[in-house]
A and B are shown apart, each in its own frame.
Chain A
Amino acid sequence: MKKKIVRQIVFVVAVLCAWQLAYRNGIFPKLMFPSIGDIGNALLDGFSHDKLGNMVLYSLWLLLRGMGLGMLLAMVFSGLSIASSWFSDIYNLLVSIFDLIPGVALIPLAILWFGVGEAPILFIVVHSVVWPMSRSIIDGFRSVPPILVESGRNLGLSKRQQVFQIYIPASFSSVLSGIKIGWARAWRGLISAEMIFGTTSFGAGIGWYIFYKRVNVDIAGVFAALIVIILIGVVVEYLVFSTIERHTVRKWGVSR
């Protein structure tokens, strides 16, 4: 575990050094390729002057709501597809169809249906989460060993009980990877939507910040926003997901 972190830190430091060297030697135009210092300043500046902090919080708030709703729907639909073979057949078709459609491609429709505001953004985020997550949960459910399902059926468990007591825990590593995929897709959907919609009546998000910095040709500011996204991703990966894994699949001997 420690070795892994040391290796990863060494890698990141090496990339930063290479970056700074490239900047010093002027390999790329300064406008395209700001220094580490410029990016750092833009980051500080963003938080102190440009309300980047508020935008990050607003984006996270949208993200959590969209992802929560998406996860709930994916769980419910995947569970229903265990309970009913009719539902399963149709839902599998829907997943194959909609998983192919990028969230951004739905933005014109979302505007038409929901107007401008939070609703279309949430719609895009939910769309980005539901299908890939369902895919991974359903794949997990399908690979649950029949002997575990029969152990549950033997006790006279209802379909609902089977889903909660057997399918979800037995396929938890797939459920978890579904959540991870959902999380990544949610970010993508959110940032794309924010860059196109700009601000909602409640506030502006990090996607808007990137758009705004781009328009002002503040490339260091664009990088600063990307770094914020990366940092949030790293924190969630290492704190949230790792903690869940440690207390579940690793403890159970399912994953190393």
Chain B
Amino acid sequence: MGGQQMSESFPVDYLAIEHLSKRYLNCNGADYILKDFSIEVPKGQFLCIIGPSGCGKSTLLRCITGFEQYDGSIRLGGKLLREPAVDRILVFQDFNQLFHWKTALQNVQFPLKMSRKYEKAEYTAIAQKFIDLVGLSGYENYYPHQLSGGMKQRVAIAKSLAIKPQVVLMDEPFASLDAMTRKTLQSELLRLQSIERSTVLFVTHNIQEAIALGDRVIALSQNGVIVKDIPIEISKPATPATPGFSELWAELNQALSAEPDIV
């Protein structure tokens, strides 16, 4: 629990990863999943991370969350991150990340309640506000099993944003949704991020999604080598019809297609 206070004096409020390496032990000794990975993400940036399966994108998010031991350093506003804490919230792809014994509203309340920073009335109001923001007004008292996949992901997003984390880590949150729902949720997420201004690291397989959402996109190859790091400066919400979109798409696609996809 400890060590959560931020060093206010630290001038830069960005996420800085230096020489991050992560190995998994296997029968041949140890395999690197991430090798000497470094990046700086300024506060408020929406960074999309794309790459083939096994390139270490999920592992990267898990290291930042504090779920994995790693070599190197991950700092947020200067503070070294080793343990999970509420300043970084991970949103999973799996619809079953919600607590099935809590209603939608209670799920969103839970992190606020556990943080002990708020009175009951306060956290109830905050949770309600975020339920409204993700367009689930009227569904507050539904249990997860009564919600569709898209609605569950909306609750998960509301839950992650309501606690006001400094960094939101999203591991393909829309990958299991149908195309229509995915598109809706993408624009909802953009709208929310423009209000909340939290730093977002968004992992996806989908180049189009990365361009549509990100301020910046990085493409990874095996061992987390950054093969492409480009700013997305076209107007939001970006669609394939937006000028400049197809050039970005081609650039990223080319960077990725040079990579053999390990399945």
Binding site for B on A (CB under 8 A): 145, 147-148, 150-151, 153-158, 161, 165-166, 169-170, 172, 248, 251-254
- Given contacts A147-B96, A251-B143, A253-B145, are A154 and B101 in contact (CB under 8 A)? no
Query: B87: shortest Cβ distance to chain A, in Å?
Result: 9
Residue B44 at the chain A interface, CB threshold 8 Å: no
- Does the CB pair B99–A156 fall under 8 Å? no
How far, in angstroms, from A157 to B83 measured CA to CA in the complex? Answer: 11
Find A156's partner among B83, B92, B110 (CB 8 Å cutoff).
Answer: B83
Given contacts A165-B114, A252-B100, A253-B100, 12 further A-B contacts (CB under 8 A): A148-B99, A153-B84, A154-B66, A154-B86, A154-B89, A154-B90, A155-B111, A155-B115, A165-B110, A170-B100, A172-B101, A253-B145
Instruction: Name the residue of chain A whose CB is nearest to the CB of B86.
Output: A155
Query: A157: shortest Cβ distance to chain B, in Å?
Result: 6
How far, in angstroms, from A172 to B66 measured CA to CA in the complex? Answer: 28
Query: A64: shortest Cβ distance to chain B, in Å?
Result: 27
How far, in angstroms, from A150 to B91 measured CA to CA in the complex? Answer: 11
Q: Which of chain A's residues have a CB closer than 8 A to the CB of B86?
A: 154-156
Residue B97 at the chain A interface, CB threshold 8 Å: yes
- Does the CB pair B97–A156 fall under 8 Å? no
Instruction: Name the residue of chain B whose CB is nearest to the CB of A145.
Output: B96
| Residues of chain B from 75 to 110 with CB closer than 8 A to chain A in the complex | 83-86, 88-90, 92, 94, 96-97, 99-101, 110
Residue B146 at the chain A interface, CB threshold 8 Å: yes
Query: A150: shortest Cβ distance to chain B, in Å?
Result: 6
Q: How many residues of B contact A (CB 8 A)?
A: 28
Q: Which of chain A's residues have a CB closer than 8 A to the CB of B67?
A: 150, 153-154
How far, in angstroms, from A148 to B94 measured CA to CA in the complex? Answer: 10
Residue B58 at the chain A interface, CB threshold 8 Å: no
- Does the CB pair B99–A169 fall under 8 Å? yes
Q: Which of chain B's residues have a CB closer than 8 A to the CB of A170?
A: 99-101
28 interchain pairs, CB-CB under 8 A: A145-B96, A147-B92, A147-B97, A148-B99, A150-B90, A151-B92, A153-B67, A154-B65, A154-B84, A154-B86, A154-B89, A154-B90, A155-B84, A155-B86, A155-B111, A155-B163, A156-B1, A156-B83, A157-B114, A158-B1, A161-B114, A165-B110, A170-B99, A248-B101, A251-B143, A252-B100, A252-B101, A253-B145
Contacts between chains A and B (CB distance < 8 A), count:
63
- Given contacts A148-B99, A156-B86, are A252 and B1 in contact (CB under 8 A)? no
How far, in angstroms, from A189 to B9 measured CA to CA in the complex? Answer: 65
How far, in angstroms, from A165 to B88 measured CA to CA in the complex? Answer: 20
How far, in angstroms, from A169 to B101 measured CA to CA in the complex? Answer: 7
| Residues of chain B from 1 to 26 with CB closer than 8 A to chain A in the complex | 1, 4
How far, in angstroms, from A166 to B100 measured CA to CA in the complex? Answer: 10
Q: Which of chain A's residues have a CB closer than 8 A to the CB of B111?
A: 155
Q: Which of chain B's residues have a CB closer than 8 A to the CB of A151?
A: 92, 97, 99
Query: A169: shortest Cβ distance to chain B, in Å?
Result: 4
How far, in angstroms, from A170 to B94 measured CA to CA in the complex? Answer: 16
How far, in angstroms, from A253 to B103 measured CA to CA in the complex? Answer: 12
Query: A161: shortest Cβ distance to chain B, in Å?
Result: 7
**1/0 contact string of B158-182 vs chain A (CB within 8 Å):** 0000010000000000000000000
**1/0 contact string of B98-131 vs chain A (CB within 8 Å):** 0111000000001100110000000000000000
Q: Which of chain B's residues have a CB closer than 8 A to the CB of A156?
A: 1, 4, 83-86
How far, in angstroms, from A165 to B146 measured CA to CA in the complex? Answer: 21
How far, in angstroms, from A155 to B111 measured CA to CA in the complex? Answer: 7
- Does the CB pair A148–B97 fall under 8 Å? yes
Q: Which of chain A's residues have a CB closer than 8 A to the CB of B144?
A: 253
Instruction: Name the residue of chain A whose CB is nearest to the CB of B4.
Output: A156
| Residues of chain B from 225 to 263 with CB closer than 8 A to chain A in the complex | none
Instruction: Name the residue of chain A whose CB is nearest to the CB of B159.
Output: A151
Instruction: Name the residue of chain B whose CB is nearest to the CB of A251.
Output: B143
| Residues of chain B from 40 to 88 with CB closer than 8 A to chain A in the complex | 65-67, 83-86, 88
Q: Which of chain A's residues have a CB closer than 8 A to the CB of B96?
A: 145, 147-148
Instruction: Name the residue of chain B whose CB is nearest to the CB of A151.
Output: B97
Query: B100: shortest Cβ distance to chain A, in Å?
Result: 5
Instruction: Name the residue of chain A whose CB is nearest to the CB of B65.
Output: A154
Q: Which of chain B's residues have a CB closer than 8 A to the CB of A145?
A: 96
How far, in angstroms, from A169 to B67 measured CA to CA in the complex? Answer: 22
Q: Which of chain B's residues have a CB closer than 8 A to the CB of A253?
A: 100, 143-146
